[in-house]
Amino acid sequence: MNRSKYATTIISHSSLIDLNIEYSQPLKRGREIFGSVVPYGQLWRTGANGCTTIFTSQNLRFASGTLPRGKYALYTVPLPEAWTIVFYTDISNYGLPRHWDKKSVALSVEVPARISERVAETFSIAIEQTSHFEANIEIAWDKTRVSVPFAIPNQKNALEDAVPESGGPSFDDYYMAAKFCYETDDLRGALLRIDMGLEINQRKPYFYYQLKSLIEAKLGDIDAAFQYAKLSVQRAKEAGDMYFAQLAEGNITQWSEQREETSSKEVDV
C-alpha cells in the first residue's frame, strides 16, 4: 500500500505557508467504503496503516478556531452528511490512539460531506488554494468528497502587494511562475521570472531569495546560491519566520558539505 507524501507551498498576499501531509492510500477494490469499510460515527485514522499527519509552518484559521503551527495527527469522524475533522497533537500512535486524550485535541472542525458521480478508486488528500487568503484540505474516496476550508492569517510585513503601473502580473504571479518552472526543470525560465518578481517588489521577500538560491544551485552557480540563501536567512529572521530561516540554513550546510566533498575528490585525483 502506498504511503503518500503530499507537500505544497501556499503563497498569498498575507503569508507564505508550507504544508505537508503524509498518509497511506487504501484502494476501493469494489467495496462499499463509507458506512461499511469505514463505519459512520466512529473515529477513523483517515487512511490506512500509520496515522495520517499534517504539518503546517504557520497558523491556520478554521471555522472553529486557529490551529497553531506544528505537526498533528489527522483523524476524522465520517457521517453521511457531515464529517468532524480532528487535529491531534500526539502523532506517536500507529493508527488510532489506544487511549483518547481530549487534551491532545488541538482543534476539531465540522464540515459537510458531498456525493460525487465520479468514483475515486484511491483515497487521497490534497490542498486546493481558492484565493490569496483561503484554501481547502480536500479529502476524496469512493464517491465521497469533503472540503475543509481554512484562511491564511495576516502576518504583518510578510508580504506586500506590488503590481506594476502597467497593470501586469503581480510579484506573487512571478513567484508562482518561477516556482513552476523550477519544479519542471525549466531553470532559465525560473531565473528570469524570479528576477522579474524581485525587480517589482521593493521589499524583496525572503522566500524569493530562498527560491532564487535553489535555482542558482541547480544551475551550478554555488557562489550565487550561497549569497541568496544568506539573504533569505537574514530576512526570514527579521520577519520572525524561523522555519524558513532554518530551511535556508540547511541548504547552506548541504551545499558547503557538497563543495568540501568535491574539493576532496579533486585533491585525491
Q: What is the pLDDT of residues 95-112, one digit of tens each?
A: 899 999 999 999 999 999
Collapsing DSSP to helix, strand or coil, 256 comes out as helix
Q: Which residues of 63-83 are buried (b: 16+ CB within 10 A; e: fewer)?
A: eeeebeeeebbbbbbbbeeeb
Separation between Cα atoms, residue 110 and residue 119, nearest integer Å: 23
Give the pLDDT score at 2: 61
Q: Could you tell me the CATH superfamily of domain 171-268?
A: Tetratricopeptide repeat domain (1.25.40.10)
Collapsing DSSP to helix, strand or coil, 71 comes out as strand
How would you write 207-244 as a 3-class SS string? HHHHHHHHHHHHHCCHHHHHHHHHHHHHHHHHCCCHHH
Q: What is the mean pLDDT of the chain?
A: 85
Give the pLDDT score at 264: 65
Separation between Cα atoms, residue 177 and residue 167, nearest integer Å: 17
Give the pLDDT score at 5: 58
Separation between Cα atoms, residue 73 and residue 257, nearest integer Å: 34
**Which percentage of the chain shows pLDDT scores above 90?**
55
pLDDT higher than 60, residue 9: no
* Lowest-pLDDT choice from 22-26, 163-167, 209-213, 250-254: 163-167
Separation between Cα atoms, residue 15 and residue 12, nearest integer Å: 5
Give the pLDDT score at 243: 77
Instruction: Give the mean model confidence (pLDDT) for residues 175-202.
Output: 85
Which has the higher per-residue pLDDT, 144 or 15? Answer: 144
Nearest to 226 by CA among 206, 212, 237, 245: 212
Instruction: Give the mean model confidence (pLDDT) for residues 126-146.
Output: 89
Q: What is the pLDDT of residues 165-183, one digit of tens each?
A: 445 566 777 887 888 888 8
Q: What is the pLDDT of residues 238-254, one digit of tens each?
A: 888 887 888 889 999 99
Torsion of CA 110, 115, 121, 123, to 10 degrees: -10
pLDDT higher than 90, residue 201: no
Across-strand partners of 73?
A: 53, 88
Q: What are the residues whose beta carbons fall under 8 Å from the beta carbon of 212, sequence distance 6 or more? A: 191, 194, 195, 198, 228
Which H/E stretch holds residue 70?
Answer: strand 70-78
Separation between Cα atoms, residue 58 and residue 14, nearest integer Å: 11
Across-strand partners of 87?
A: 74, 107
Which has the higher per-residue pLDDT, 131 or 128? Answer: 128
Task: Parse the chain into domains and list their residue ranges.
Answer: 3-151, 171-268
Give the pLDDT score at 1: 59
DSSP state for residue 68 in the 8-state scheme:
P
pLDDT higher than 60, residue 15: no
* Lowest-pLDDT choice from 8-12, 168-172, 177-181, 263-267: 8-12
Which has the higher per-residue pLDDT, 138 or 267? Answer: 138
pLDDT higher than 50, residue 157: no
Q: What cell was used for 228? A: 541568496
Confidence of residue 134 (pLDDT cuts 50, 70, 90): confident
Give the pLDDT score at 199: 84
Nearest to 16 by CA among 186, 182, 243: 243
Neighbours of 245 (CB within 10 A): 20
